[in-house]
Amino acid sequence: MFVSYNEYLTEISNSLQHADYSLASRRMLDFLYDYNLDQHAEIKALSFDIRNRYLQQSQNQETDANSLQQLCEQWLQKVNQLPIPMDKESDLQHLVYHAEDLSKEYNSGSRHFKLHPVSLNIKLGELTAVVGENGNGKTTLLRLMAGELAPTSGKASYFGNKKNNWYETKGKIAYIPQRPDRWYGTLIDNLHFFCTIKGIVGTENEDHVNYILHRLGLYQFRNLKWTEISSGYRLRFELAKALMMRPRLLVLDEPLANLDINAQQLLLQDLKYLSQSSKHPMGVVLSSQQLHELERNCKNIVFIKQGKTIYSGEQQSFAADRTHNAFEVGGNFSIADLQNHLNTLGDIKIIDSGTVLIINTPLSVDSVQLLKVITAQNLPINYFRDISKSTRQLFQKDI
Amino acid sequence: MLKFLVPSFIKNIDKTLVLNYPFWYIVKLHYILYFTIIFWMISYGIGCLLPIDISSYNPENVTNTWTFVFAVLAIILFCVWMYYLTIYNNEDRFGKFTMWDDVKLLAVLLIGINLLMSFSYPMQIRVKSRLANSFSDAELAKQYNDLNLGHKYINSDLTNYQYCGYNIHDVVAPEQLAKDTDEFGQQRYVYDLSKYKNFLHFSPETIGHYDYSFSNFFFGFSELSPSSEFKHSFYSEYKIEQEYSLYKTDEQKLNAIKKYFDVLKLYRNSYSFIMGQNMVSASDYSYQPQDYLDNYNHYEKTCLTYFPNAFNLSANDKQAEMNYLPFEDATHNMVNIYQAKFSSIYLLKNSYLMFAFYFSFYVSILIILFRNNTWQHYIVSIVSFILLGIIIGLSSLIIGYHSENSFFSLALLTWIAIGAISIWYYFKNDKYRVVGAIASNLFYFSLPLMPLLFCLYLHETFDWLKCYADYNDPVASAQCEIIRMTYQDVIFWAQIGGISSFILIVMPFYKVFFAQQKALPREK
């Protein structure tokens, strides 16, 4: 998980080879931050310049790849001239949150809700996704984790401390609710303020705010006010604010809700990279309905259904002991057509989920086999996904 | 904060503070100082430009409207200030703080609130100063002297003469005057007749002058300490009599009368409202100084001959005459100048300073509580405070006997109960509890005055430092006086001790508590 000095440079070089200036410029800044290259004014200025140029060009949709490439090569050249520092010992894998049989009961109006006991661990450098249907307790769990709600029963500890000093603990937790409170004054003043109250002052404050603003692509909006930016940018500024305090645990409630697909993927990628910072790694927990995006980026999944935790663990380990495989298929055909053609594969069960069909097959049938049969029958398929190891299956009504 | 009015150097200070000194960025004292200086300059300018009417009864009449305008502006600025104090809250974001932050904030609020209250001060001081400098001290003293010297020759009570059917030019037969009676058959009361036997002396400190101005009503009358120049120039009663005895010729007398009217003319504006009823208006339009002199010469002899036993004025009669005199209004306005010169400004009076301190102190405490609470629980705390007062009051009335003592006892018991809840909550500190939070607010708010209230309780309920003595027993009276003075000392030190121990001991600990409370997980 931890990215070494050389790995960083290789990653940046690879991005440049694929002309992925978005990733390259972000990773340059991460590299700058992680390896304290702030004192190298030239490299710092060049990094910010590359990022700014990329953002400006991408907004105008007129990418001048040559000039960017030249700057990036210049950057690589300068960095390669620096002495290679010793890689630091990573904090990654340290436990930031541990919950044991944590439960919460409350009445909201006439509705009684109970989040059944849940146990989980959050580690530095890992992304954990909390998924489930609406109103099933995701936000409650996130608020419990963020120390916003007091549990009805169970124990929770933060950062390995047995007893919580809540003020100190919360100083290390950043919680971004689904609807953040509005900010007053200019965005940049707020960011400086949040930085200062955490003891990051003077030039370090300016550098840190600059880094985060450039890193998240917010630099050009810094002098605006909360009411002058869209909900997508509000979320990014909330994230910027959270990062100002260098949290050890970052909790985000439905951060992808107001983002387009590109922004969603970018945010998840950023969260993953930022959580793995060697300088200030953090554990990240987020809830969302964007299952596929989460599963691609998050190491752990917590699935909640009607207040009960159906699954809590590594995403890779999900459905390891499954009895069948499952696939989502979409196309211009009916269940009956499909059923007729797939009978040859053995015990097949097809469910119409509304927009796609879910095919449950024996474990012996994998995606290659299934696709072969479907394409052999010339069925007009336009969507296919293997969900055998996805919590998507848990959303099925009949499984 | 009203950005279009803020110069760039203030914004630069802002920038430095936000990067380095979050506390000072939050409290925005530099804005308050900046606006205070601006408003002081405006206020001083207005003080210079306002027309000063020496015939006005009080300088406050001139400045009241502007004082109100400055008060409104100060309240607007205060609201904007509070808005910024609320939105930038370090502990809401679990930032770094020290236990002395609330003490620092209290100091800033005390300074800030008093600065906001001071917007109109330069204007008031300037107007007072201008009024005081209308005449030099020696000139004012001379005006008093002229009035005192001229008064002897003036028939002040012309109306009274006229009422009797006489005219100033009439030569009234002394026999007729002696027999003249009023409607009740009493000898007519003619003040001026006494003049030739008694002597009135008008001094700015002995003349009956009641100033019902707002500041005096609330903060007490000023100590007057005239300058040596005034004291030196002002003629005593004895000196006036001496001078008067030197005026032998008509020319000298006429000169005294002229000087008398010269002084009155300086303050004539205020006479417009009593035109037609007053000697001065009459003198201006009907009678000349020579008329007064003639009249004086005529009656001097008559009076001394026919009214040898004309009553001697008692103190009350003197007062009555003074209130009846034509130049009473003039002296009234002269007293204003005299006070403007020699009285201490109300802003420096102990009573005003006490008021300013307690007012700003409790407003500051309320603001600090607001910053340390959710607004909902803040409101509930205030309502609870009022309701508890009403409940304790009603309960003590129901108990009936010695209801004052019951009130104190019940209030003390309630306070102990609230304090116990607050302290328990202080140490429990596991999750946010509404009852604990409200109890803590009430406890915190009442703490500064508790030593004082406790002393009052002991005094009222257990007769502590109370003493009754027969006034005929001087020894017992003296002992009681010592006890009363001791009690006054105790009350004074209870206030000082209560407030200082609150600031130095309670506030730092509760700062930590309030910050912790903000971080506690909540039930919902």
Q: Which chain A residue is nearest to residue B2, measuring alpha carbons?
A: A185
Cα gap A113→B83, rounded to integer Å: 37
Chain A from 162 to 191: CB within 8 A of any B CB: 165-167, 169-171, 184-185, 189
Q: Are A211 and A29 in contact (CB under 8 A)?
A: yes
Average pLDDT value for residue range A75-104? 81
| Torsion region of A125: left, alpha or beta (phi above 0 gives left; psi -120 to 50 gives alpha) | left
Q: How many Å lie between the alpha carbon of B17 and the closest alpha carbon of chain A?
A: 9
pLDDT band at A83 (very low <50, low <70, confident <90, very high): confident
One domain, residues A385 and A306:
no
Closest-CA distance, A8 to chain B, in angstroms, reads 31
Cβ within 8 Å of residue B494, ≥6 positions away: B451, B452, B454, B455
Do the domain assignments include residue A87?
no
> How far lies B468's CA from each of B403, B461, B480, B482, B487, in Å?
22, 15, 7, 12, 13
Residue A105 belongs to some domain of the structure: yes
Q: Which residue in A has a C-alpha nearest to residue B83's C-alpha? A: A184
Over residues A354-382, mean pLDDT: 86
Which two tokens mark B410?
């019940």
**C-alpha–C-alpha distance, residues B211 and B109, integer Å:** 33
CB neighbour class for A269 (10 Å; exposed up to 12, middle 13-18, buried from 19) = middle
The C-alpha atoms of residue A287 and residue A128 are separated, in whole angstroms, by 8
Taking only the tens place, the pLDDT of each residue in A236-284 is 999 999 999 889 999 999 999 888 888 888 999 999 999 988 888 999 9
Same domain, A293 and A334: no
Closest partner residue to A166 (CB to CB) among B14, B25, B516 is B516
Contacts of A189 in chain B (CB under 8 A): 14, 18
A199 close to B (CB below 8 A): yes
Contacts of B21 in chain A (CB under 8 A): 196
Question: Which residues in chain A touch residue B431, judged by CB atoms under 8 angstroms apart?
Answer: 150
Q: What mean pLDDT is reported for chain A?
A: 87
A201 interaction partners in chain B (CB closer than 8 Å): 19-20
Instruction: Classify residue A384 as exposed, middle or buried by CB count within 10 Å of its CB (0-12, 13-18, 19+).
Output: middle
How many angstroms away from the CA of A108 is the closest CA of chain B?
A: 9
Contacts of B412 (CB under 8 A, 6+ apart): B453, B454, B457
Check CB contact of A363 with chain B, cutoff 8 Å: no
The reported pLDDT for the residue numbered A209 is 94
**Contacts (Cβ under 8 Å, ≥6 apart) of B128:** B59, B340, B345
State whether A171 and B22 contact (CB < 8 Å).
Answer: no
Rounded Cα gap, residues A71 and A323, in angstroms:
54
Q: Encoding tokens for residue B156?
A: 């002040």
Pairing of strands A153-158, A95-108: antiparallel
| CATH, residue A116 | 3.40.50.300
Q: Which of A314, A337, A360 is the last residue of a domain?
A: A314
Q: Following DSSP, what letter does each residue of A273-292 receive, concatenated? A: HHHT-SSS--EEEEE-S-HH
Token pair belonging to B62? 């001139």
Structure tokens of B421?
A: 């809840």
Closest residue in A to B95 (Cα) is: A197
Pick the residue of A197, A238, A243 with the most B CBs within 10 A to test the interface with B by mutation. Answer: A197
Q: What is the pLDDT, as a whole number, of residue B161?
A: 43
pLDDT score, position A190? 93
Does residue A106 sit at the B interface (CB-CB below 8 Å)? yes
DSSP run (H or E) holding A239: helix A231-244
Would you call B428 helix, strand, or coil by DSSP? helix
Q: Do A147 and B519 touch (CB under 8 A)?
A: yes
CB contact under 8 A, B20 and A201: yes
A312: enclosing H helix or E strand: strand A308-314
Q: What residue of B is the nearest CA neighbor of A168?
A: B94
Give me the pLDDT at residue B416, please: 93
Q: Which of A:256-295 have CB within 8 Å of B?
A: none
Report how far residue B99's alpha carbon sits from residue B119's, in angstroms, rounded to the nearest whole number. 32
Nearest CA in chain A to B1: A185
Classify residue A135: in a domain, yes or no. yes
How does DSSP classify residue B203? Answer: -
Among residues A314, A340, A365, the one where a domain terminates is A314
Distance, CA of B503 to CA of B357 (rounded, Å): 14
Distance, CA of B432 to CA of B519 (rounded, Å): 8
pLDDT at B323: 44
- Cβ–Cβ of A198/B95 closer than 8 Å? yes
Contact B519 A166 (CB under 8 A): yes
Provide the β-strand partners of residue A385.
Answer: A328
Contacts of B430 in chain A (CB under 8 A): 150
C-alpha–C-alpha distance, residues A61 and A55, integer Å: 10
Q: What is the pLDDT of residue A63?
A: 63
* Closest in B88, B94, B432 to A167, CB measured: B94
The count of other CB atoms within 10 Å of the CB of residue B70 is 24
Which candidate in B93, B96, B511 is best for mutational testing of the A interface (most A CBs within 10 A)? B93
What's the one-letter identity of residue B76?
A: I
- Kindly identify which residue of chain A lies nearest to residue B514, measuring between CA atoms: A167
Same domain, A120 and A184: yes
Alpha-carbon gap: A328 to the closest alpha carbon of chain B (Å):
39
Residue A198 placed within a domain: yes
Annotated domain spans of chain B: 1-134, 136-342, 372-524
Long-range Cβ contact pairs of A35-39 (< 8 A, separation 24 or more):
A35/A5, A35/A8, A35/A85, A36/A279, A37/A79, A37/A82, A38/A207
Of A170, A192, A198, the CB nearest to B519: A170
Residue A79 Cα to chain centre, angstroms: 29
Cβ <8 Å between A194 and B93: yes
Query: Which residues of chain B does A112 touch, with a Cβ-Cβ cutoff of 8 Å?
Result: none
Domain-terminating residue out of A314, A343, A378: A314
In the numeric block, which tokens belong to residue B238? 């004895």
Minimum mean pLDDT range among A62-66, A191-195, B6-10, B453-457 = A62-66
Range of the domain at A70: 5-80
Q: Which residues pair with A236 in a beta bridge?
A: none
Q: From A108, which residue of chain B is nearest by alpha-carbon distance?
A: B524
Contact list, A194 vs chain B (CB under 8 Å): 93, 95
Per DSSP, the three-state class of A359 is: strand
CB spacing of A196 vs B87 below 8 angstroms: no
- pLDDT averaged per 10 residues in sequence order, chain B, 524 residues: 78 93 94 95 95 72 87 95 90 92 96 96 91 92 89 57 44 59 60 49 62 59 79 88 83 89 74 39 56 70 48 43 52 82 80 91 95 92 93 85 75 92 86 91 92 89 85 85 92 94 94 92 87
Cβ partners under 8 Å of residue B435, min gap 6:
B421, B425
Contact state of B87 with A184 under an 8 Å Cβ cutoff: yes
CB atoms within 10 A of CB B208: 13
**Total domain count for chain A?**
3
ipTM summary value: 0.84
For residue A301, the distance in angstroms to the closest alpha carbon of chain B comes to 25
Chain B residues with CB-CB distance to A under 8 A? 14, 18-22, 25, 87-88, 90-91, 93-96, 429-432, 515-516, 518-524
> For residue A233, what is the enclosing H or E element?
helix A231-244
Do residue A149 and residue B524 have CB atoms under 8 angstroms apart?
yes
Q: What contacts B357, CB < 8 A, 6 or more positions away?
A: B110
For B62, the 3-state DSSP assignment is helix
At A146 the pLDDT is: 94
In a 13 Å sphere around the CA of B159, the CA atoms on its Cβ side amount to 11
Q: Return the CA Rg of chain A.
A: 24
For residues A140-152, average pLDDT? 94
Report residue A37's pLDDT band, with 50, 70 and 90 as the boundaries.
confident
Q: How far is A201 from chain B (nearest CA, A)?
A: 5
The Cα A351–Cα A335 span in angstroms is: 8
CA–CA separation, B364 and B110 (whole Å): 7
Flag whether residue A198 sits within 8 Å of chain B, measured between CB atoms.
Answer: yes
Q: How far apart are CA A272 and CA A289, in angstroms?
A: 18
Give the C-alpha separation, A377 to A342, whole Å. Answer: 9
The Cα–Cα gap between B128 and B67 comes to 14
What's the gap in Å between the CA of A128 and the closest CA on chain B?
Answer: 22
Q: Which pLDDT value is given to residue B328? A: 59
- Residue in B with minimal Cα distance to A106: B524
- Residue A197: inside a domain: yes
On chain B, the residues whose CB falls within 8 A of the CB of A196 are 18-22, 25, 95
A193·B18 Cβ contact <8 A: yes
Contact check, Cβ <8 Å, A197/B96: yes
Identify all chain B residues contacting A227, using CB atoms and an 8 Å cutoff.
none
> Are residues B25 and A196, on separate chains, in Cβ contact within 8 Å?
yes
